Amino acid sequence: MQAIFDFQEKLADWDEHVCKHFPLVGELSTPWRWKNFEEEECGRWLLEVRKKLLAVESIDLASAHANASWIQTGGKDEHKCRLEACSTRAPNPNGTILIIGDSKNPQGQRQFASQTPGATAVESVDLRDLVSFARSLDLKSKKALLRWSSLPKNL
């Protein structure tokens, strides 16, 4: 289920790179992480999704568990549709919403976050934008402070 994090790079082959060195000794059937937060039903749904993915079966996100919702975007007014999807309310007062944006378009992620009250964009795991910014920052330049102050809006 971690394949959403492949970032166009080859993922580790589970059997070749993991099970070859760490043989499978069992598989948990209780979704403890979810059960401990009184969301066992959601955890069980995720276990079923996992089984389907392993069997290379499709998943109908339109009939997902109540804690997950799929909002189809697209069409002639896609930007407006996406902004409305970003405004989805959390299911409870302390809940949060996860919006998975286009990993290849960090600027687009930041744009949607800036237009969505309470949203923040998360820097990619490899810190690509931050590293690029640091490499291009010339501390001896007269504009270094101005460039440094632009960091928050660019990351």
User: And the tokens for 21?
Assistant: 């060195």
User: And the tokens for 100?
Assistant: 């998975």
Diameter of the chain measured on Cα atoms: 61
Q: How far is CA 100 from CA 65, 89, 138, 142, in A?
A: 17, 15, 33, 38
Per-residue pLDDT of the chain (155 residues; tens, 9 = 90+): 556 555 666 777 888 888 899 988 988 899 999 999 999 999 999 999 999 988 999 988 878 888 887 777 777 888 788 788 778 777 778 877 777 777 778 888 888 788 887 777 777 767 777 788 888 888 898 988 888 887 766 65
Q: Are 75 and 81 in contact (CB under 8 A)?
A: yes
DSSP codes of every residue in 58-78: ---GGG--TT-------STTH
Parse the chain into domains and list their residue ranges.
1-69, 71-122, 126-155
Phi, psi of 56 (to 5 degrees): 55, 45
